[in-house]
Amino acid sequence: MSEVQQPQAFQAEVRQLLDIVVHSLYTDREIFIRELVSNASDAMEKLQHLQATEKSVYQADKEFKVEITTDEEAKTLTIQDFGIGMTRDELVENLGTIAHSGTKAFLEAAKEQGNDPSALIGRFGVGFYSVFMAAESVKVFTHSWREDAESLVWESDGVSGYTIEEATDAERGCKLVIQLKDEHKEFATEDRVKDVLKRYSNFVQFPIFVNGTRVNEVEALWLKNKSDITDEQYTEFYKFAGHAFDEPRYRMHFSADAPLAMNALLFVPDDNMERMGFGQTEPAVSLYCRRVLIDEKPEGILPEWLRFLKGVIDSADLPLNISRESMQDSALVKKIGDVVTKRFLKFLNKEAEKDSAKYKEFYERFNRFIKEGLITDYTHREALMKLLRAESSMNDAGELTSLADYVTRMKDGQEEIYYQLGSSRDVIESGPYVEGFKARGVEVLYFFEPIDEYVFNQLSEFDGKKFVAVNSASAKVDEMDTTSEDERQALSDDDMKAVTDWLKETLGDKVGEVRSGKRLVSSPAAAMTSADQISPQMRQMFKTMGQDAPDGGKVELELNPRHELIKELAKARETKPELAKLLGEQLFDQSLLSAGLLEDQRGLVERGLKIMEAALRS
Ligand code: ADP
Per run of 10 residues, the mean pLDDT along the chain (length 618 residues) is 71 83 72 91 90 90 96 98 96 81 62 58 66 95 96 94 94 98 97 93 92 90 93 90 88 90 95 85 89 82 95 83 48 88 97 97 97 96 97 96 96 93 91 88 94 92 94 74 59 91 92 87 86 65 71 82 91 91 93 83 90 87
pLDDT at 114: 58
| pLDDT for position 322 | 37
CB 233 within 8 A of CB 220: no
Q: Which residues contact 368 (CB under 8 A, 6 or more apart)?
A: 272, 274, 275, 449, 451
Helix (H) or strand (E) holding 120: helix 118-124
Q: What DSSP designation does 529 have?
A: B
- Model confidence, pTM: 0.74
Q: Which residues line ligand 1 (CB under 6 A)?
A: 35, 39-40, 43, 81, 83-86, 94-95, 127-128, 174, 321
Q: What is the longest distance spanned by two Cα atoms in the chain? A: 126
Write down the pLDDT at residue 208. Answer: 97
| CATH hierarchy code of domain 221-362 | 3.30.230.80
Please state, in angstroms and rounded to a whole number, the distance separating the CA atoms of residues 33 and 333.
Answer: 24
Please state, in angstroms and rounded to a whole number, the distance separating the CA atoms of residues 241 and 237.
6
Strand partners of residue 446: 391, 420
Strands (E), 457-602: 461-462, 465-469, 513-516, 525-528, 556-559
Query: Could you give phi then psi for residue 581, rounded to 5 degrees?
Result: -65, -45
Measured from the Cα of 38, ligand 1's closest atom is 2
Q: How far is CA 549 from CA 235, 350, 534, 545, 595, in A?
A: 50, 41, 8, 10, 16
With beta carbons less than 8 A apart as the criterion, state whether 321 and 130 touch: no
The residue length of the chain stands at 618
C-alpha neighbours within 13 Å on the C-beta side of residue 89: 2
- What pLDDT, on the 0 to 100 scale, is given for residue 418? 96
Cα–Cα separations (whole angstroms), residue 42 to 38, 39, 175, 260, 419: 6, 5, 14, 20, 57
Residues β-bridged to residue 66:
81, 208
CB-based burial of residue 162 (10 Å sphere; 0-12 exposed, 13-18 middle, 19+ buried)? Answer: buried
Inter-residue contact 71 to 188 (CB < 8 Å): yes
Q: Look at residue 187 in the predicted model and tell me its pLDDT.
A: 97
Spans of all domains in the chain: 12-214, 221-362, 389-481, 484-617
Q: Which residue from 128, 317, 323 has its CB within 8 A of the most atoms of ligand 1, so it is best to mutate?
A: 128
Q: 3-class DSSP state for residue 244?
A: coil
How many A from CA of 159 to the centre of ligand 1? 19
Q: What is the pLDDT of residue 319?
A: 64
d(CA 109, CA 596): 56
Superfamily of segment(s) 12-214 = Histidine kinase-like ATPase, C-terminal domain (3.30.565.10)
Q: CATH: 3.40.50.11260, 3.30.2000.20, 3.30.2420.10, 3.40.50.150. Which one for 389-481?
A: 3.40.50.11260
CA distance 322 to 604: 70
Q: Residue 28: helix, strand or coil by DSSP?
A: coil
C-alpha of residue 173 to centroid of ligand 1, in Å: 11
What is the C-alpha to C-alpha distance for residues 605 and 323, in angstroms, rounded to an integer? 70
CATH number of the domain located at residue range(s) 484-617 in this protein: 1.20.120.790
| Cis-peptide, bond into residue 561, ω within 30° of zero | no
Alpha carbon nearest to ligand 1 atom 9, residue: 128
85 CA to middle of ligand 1, Å? 9
Helices assigned H by DSSP within 329-395: 331-354, 356-376, 381-385
- Ligand 1 center to 90 CA (angstroms): 10
Tell me how far the alpha carbon of residue 264 lies from the centroid of ligand 1, in angstroms. 26
Paired residues of 514 in beta bridges: 557
Identify the helix (H) or strand (E) that includes residue 584. helix 577-594
Cα separation, 440 vs 614, whole angstroms? 37
pLDDT of 20:
79
Give strand pairing partners of 76. 71, 179
Give the chain's radius of gyration (CA, Å).
Answer: 36
- Alpha-carbon distance 289 to 588, whole Å? 66
